Structure 1
Amino acid sequence: MTGIERVTSSREALGRSRGGLSTKIHLVADQRCRPITRLTSPGRHGDSPRFIPLMESICIRRRGLGRPRRRPARAMGDKVYSSRGNRAYLRRHGIQAVIPVKEDQKANRLKRARPEAAPHRRRPGLVRATSRRSAGIAG
């Protein structure tokens, strides 16, 4: 294969990198670490673009009659899944995101914040005193 990648099946997910051929396995598991669904992608592709297709592939059968569950109550993930699009998808579907926020995203959010919405940026002593009081620590 001279620079041209051929895909023979939608089930194959081989990506070429400096180390050779590689594959990424994206997995959804429940709280007891039992696998629910998985997707494979070429190793050179990013993780975050696979989040929404992975969430849409969730299908949990019920014990009795009824449609299978398609939405979990919470989605836990690594920092790589903390993009604005992924969080918006979770909010639209009523799923609580338990995903840490990247430092650059925190900085951008603080930079975009209105001054009246962030009083701690102007008066850091106010927040420090309030947090000590609420934690029961004498200041």
Structure 2
Amino acid sequence: MSASQWLPALGGGMLVGLSALLLMLFNGRVAGISGILAGALQRGDAWRWLFLLGLGLGSLLAFGLGWASLPTLAGLPAWPWVVLAGLLVGIGTRLGNGCTSGHGICGVGCLSRRSIVATFVFMTTAVLTVFVSRHLL
């Protein structure tokens, strides 16, 4: 693996960690995207909307500067499957009391046992899903 493959991922991970740290330091909040989105929709806090706007604008900026590319649309499942998958992810975040960003980035960083277990479950499920879909189906 060449440096051109892993350096952008390292830089992106560092920026995600830095943004989570800054949100915790200056706002006292965990950077869990599902919680931020739910709070924005329920209470309409300006900082939540600005955080979500920054996620989108940051992605567009990275694409515009040539740091990232858009995913190809070939082979995507039909939209009903995408909607169903989104609903299942939403249900999972409610059942797990947080999403992968809240548990995986912030919770593990705070050494929360619950978040460490949740992240282990997320990652194990992801590995098994890829294995089954690529090698058994």
Tell me, yes or no, whether TM beats 0.5: no
Bigger relative contact order (CA 8 A; separation at least 6):
2
Bigger radius of gyration = 1
Q: Between Structure 1 and Structure 2, which shows a larger proportion of helix residues? A: 2
